[in-house]
Amino acid sequence: MSDLTQDPYADANSDEERQAIYQKLLSEHEQSEYERRRTVYTDLIADWKHHRVIQQDIDQRSHKNILTLAAGSFGVSFAFISQIVKIETAVNMAVLVASWALFSLSIILTILELKMGSVIQDALLNNVEKNIERGYEGKPYLEPNRLLVMWPTRILGWVSIISFVGGVVCLLYFVQNTALR
């Protein structure tokens, strides 16, 4: 690397020589900048692929757990009502029906959240990849409104969890009242 305190044009005797020195320095700077951007780009792409795999794994496991719990609770409650409790003697059938409705709602909302989340995640990931390329090209980043994009799935997720918990509470209430009789 050249000494920054030394004037690179000191030995130039004409404008043509100064222009040639300028072009050489500019070319060296552009090559250095290209290498820097290329390294950043390669590192970001590698990191991004790693994060994408982790996020997809977390999403799949959490959705699978909610679906399993809701469907299992639904099935157990059916088995309970058909094997243990006689319909004629059951108390608060409306509470049992409410628990089934809440479990069904939880399952439906989780499936919707899965599909919507997948579409939104793909859009966001594509945007990030475009921004990595834009950064490599020296262009400004495009910033999506993440709050507006992510809120539908967050709301579906929370309502799904709340409806699952409500279904469990209703089922427990029904079992407690029926078992006491």
Domain ranges of the chain: 59-179
Mean pLDDT over each residue of the chain, to the nearest integer: 77
Helix (H, G, I), strand (E, B) or coil at 3: coil
- Rg of the chain's alpha carbons, rounded to an integer? 31
Q: How far is CA 39 from CA 15, 17, 33, 44, in A?
A: 36, 33, 10, 9
Nearest to 145 by CA among 120, 109, 167: 120
pLDDT digits (tens, 9 = 90+) for 55-83: 777 677 777 777 787 778 777 777 766 67
What is the sign of the dihedral through the CA atoms of 69, 75, 76 and 78? positive
What is the sign of the dihedral through the CA atoms of 157, 55, 48 and 123? negative
Average of per-residue pLDDT across 26-36: 77
Q: What is the DSSP letter of 159?
A: H
The yes-or-no verdict on residue 147 having pLDDT over 70 is no
The yes-or-no verdict on residue 1 having pLDDT over 50 is no
Give CA–CA dist 23/171, Å, rounded. Answer: 79
The gap between the terminal CA atoms of the chain, to the nearest Å, is 90
pLDDT of 136:
67
Nearest to 157 by CA among 68, 46, 66, 25: 66
- Count Cβ atoms below 10 Å from residue 94 Cβ, excluding itself: 10
